[in-house]
């Protein structure tokens, strides 16, 4: 303990440590019956940290390339000490991170935490959600197994339908006209260099904004507290909320460990580009609602290509969703109802189409 105190004093002498962590000490978290939603952002961050750590460990053995990728993952799963655990945690944490990111996003919508002055916090959060989905899409191909190969083929084909830039975008993603080893090395580059860099930067911006603006209080609670200030309750971020968040992280770790030990992530069969696509090719669950929608749109709607319409609608919807706070500037009851309604519709649609995608043959 004496050593720790000496280190702290040493740092304080040089960097004025106390000034740096001062705001953190003063930071508080509102306490009300919906406070548990505040944990989701932290859990998502924890899962991202897990991804970075397990990803670095996987990099020690993973070899990108059509002739080596599958074998190297197979080696990790069967020969490397605890390789199965690292890979399974990496895969499960990826899926849980997307789930918690989506849940976090919808909790922000329904608690209206995106309101002025936190518009940029929302925008940075939405960009993070897109990046996380990019992580999922690029990482799915890396084991070079049959399902991933054909799902990537279908996924990049859909990208090719984007008007004007679609074909160029598809060629850029694939590194050619077809999904080949070039696509794998390209996706590997996105997955381990481009996306982590951008994500880390955006996480820092997002956290700085959360720190700067403080934690939002739901409008209903805020109104009650304004009417009766004595009812307003706050909790110190450090150590009170931080320790609770730590408990949430431990629970997430327990869930991850259980999933990895009981259901290690499957490897499947090595991709064979010359084999016919197996039946029932589906994307990862978080792309299922879009995939199922595109499947159900008629080939031609009036004179337009059905798939192009679907992609345009999803593109516009994502852009509008990104700018959501700017439609709720006046704080009018109508805008509030409209956004909550849109949130309920989006959530219902995503769940319904995902279930439909898994149940439809």
Partner 1 sequence: MATWRNNGLHKALLPPLLMILCGAARAQTANTCLDCHSLLDPPLQVTQERFSRDIHAQKGLTCASCHGGDPTRADADAMSKQAGFRGKIQRAQIPELCGRCHSDGAFMRQYNPSLRTDQLSQYRTSVHGKRLARGDTKVAVCIDCHGVHDLRPASDTRSKINPLNVAETCSRCHSDAEYMKGYSIPTDQFAKYSKSVHHEAMAVRGDLSAPTCTTCHGNHGAAPPGVDSVENVCSTCHVFQAQMYEKSSHKAAFQAASLPGCVVCHSNHGITQPTDAKLGTGPEAVCMQCHSPGDACDQARVKMLGDLASLDAAIQSANKVLGIAESSGMEVSQARLEQDQARDELTKARVTIHSFQTQLVEQDIQAGMRIAAKTQAEGKAALVERNWRRMGLGFSLGAILIVLVGLRLYIRQIEVKAK
Element (H, E) at 234: strand 234-236
How many C-alpha atoms does 28 have within 13 Å on its Cβ side? 9
Q: Which of residues 243, 279, 299, 359 is near partner 1 by CB under 8 A?
A: 243
74 binds partner 1 (CB under 8 A): yes
Choices 171-179, 184-192, 240-248, 325-333 (CB under 8 A): range interacting with partner 1: 240-248
Choice from 246, 275, 330, 360 touching partner 1 (CB under 8 A): 246
Stretch that binds partner 1, among 28-36, 70-78, 110-118, 125-133 (CB under 8 A): 70-78
Paired residues of 234 in beta bridges: 30
- Based on C-alpha coordinates, what's the Rg of the chain? 23
Q: Which is nearer to partner 1, 176 or 264 (CB)?
A: 264
* Widest CA span in the chain: 77
3-class secondary structure per residue, 112-125: CCCCCCCHHHHHHH
Is residue 224 near partner 1 by the rule CB under 8 A? no
Residue 281 and residue 150 in contact, taking contact as beta carbons nearer than 8 Å: yes
Per CB under 8 A, 258 contacts partner 1: yes
Cα 116–chain centre separation: 24
CA–CA dist 48, 291 (Å, integer): 26
Minimum separation from the CB atom of position 234 to partner 1 (A): 12
Under the binding rule (CB under 8 A), the answer on residue 262 touching partner 1 is yes
Q: Which of 43, 45, 57, 77 binds partner 1 (CB under 8 A)?
A: 77
| E strand intervals along 253-310 | 300-301, 304-305
CB 322 within 8 A of CB 126: yes
Question: From the CB of 309, what's the least distance to partner 1, in Å?
Answer: 41
Q: Would you count residue 24 as binding partner 1 (CB under 8 A)?
A: no
Q: Is 257 in the site for partner 1 (CB under 8 A)?
A: yes
Using the rule CB under 8 A, give the single segment among 109-117, 119-127, 218-226, 266-274 that binds partner 1: 266-274
Q: How far lies 94's CA from each of 46, 135, 218, 295, in Å?
A: 11, 8, 29, 26
Q: How far is the CB of 267 from partner 1 (least distance, A)?
A: 6
Helix (H, G, I), strand (E, B) or coil at 145: strand
- With binding defined as CB under 8 A, does residue 266 bind partner 1? yes
Q: Pick from 24, 247, 320, 352 the residue near partner 1 by CB under 8 A.
A: 247
Least distance to partner 1, CB of residue 248, Å? 10
Asked if 90 contacts 54 with a C-beta cutoff of 8 angstroms, the reply is yes
Instruction: Name the site residues for partner 1 (rule: CB under 8 A).
Output: 74, 77-78, 84-85, 239-240, 243-244, 246-247, 250-251, 253-254, 257-258, 261-267, 269
């Amino acid at each position: 303990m004496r050593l720790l105190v000496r280190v702290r004093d040493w740092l304080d002498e040089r960097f004025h440590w106390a000034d740096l962590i001062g705001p953190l000490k003063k930071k508080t978290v509102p306490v009300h019956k919906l406070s548990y939603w505040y944990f989701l952002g932290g859990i998502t961050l924890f899962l991202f940290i897990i991804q970075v750590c397990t990803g670095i460990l996987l990099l020690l053995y993973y070899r990108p390339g059509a002739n080596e990728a599958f074998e190297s993952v197979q080696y990790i799963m069967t020969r490397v000490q605890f390789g199965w655990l690292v890979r399974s945690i990496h895969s499960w944490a990826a899926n849980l991170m997307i789930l918690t990111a989506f849940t976090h996003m919808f909790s922000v919508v329904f608690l209206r935490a995106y309101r002025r002055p936190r518009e940029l916090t929302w925008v940075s959060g939405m960009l993070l959600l897109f990046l996380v989905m990019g992580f999922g899409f690029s990482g799915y191909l890396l084991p070079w197994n049959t399902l991933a190969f054909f799902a990537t083929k279908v996924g990049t084909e859909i990208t090719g339908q984007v008007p004007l830039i679609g074909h160029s975008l598809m060629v850029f993603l694939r590194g050619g006209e077809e999904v080949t080893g070039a696509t794998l090395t390209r996706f590997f580059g996105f997955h381990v260099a481009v996306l982590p860099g951008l994500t880390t930067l955006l996480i820092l911006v997002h956290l700085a904004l959360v720190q700067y603006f403080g934690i939002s209080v739901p409008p209903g609670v805020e109104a009650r507290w304004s009417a009766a200030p004595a009812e307003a309750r706050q909790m110190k971020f450090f150590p009170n909320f931080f320790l609770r968040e730590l408990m949430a992280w431990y629970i997430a770790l327990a869930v991850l460990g259980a999933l990895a030990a009981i259901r290690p992530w499957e490897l499947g069969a090595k991709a064979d580009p010359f084999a016919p696509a197996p039946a029932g090719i589906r994307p990862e669950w978080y792309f299922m609602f879009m995939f199922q929608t595109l499947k159900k749109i008629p080939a031609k709607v009036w004179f337009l290509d059905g798939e192009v319409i679907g992609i345009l609608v999803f593109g516009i919807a994502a852009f509008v969703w990104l700018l959501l706070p700017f439609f709720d500037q006046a704080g009018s009851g109508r805008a509030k109802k409209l956004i909550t309604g849109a949130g309920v519709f989006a959530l219902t649609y995503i769940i319904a189409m995902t279930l439909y995608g898994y149940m439809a043959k």
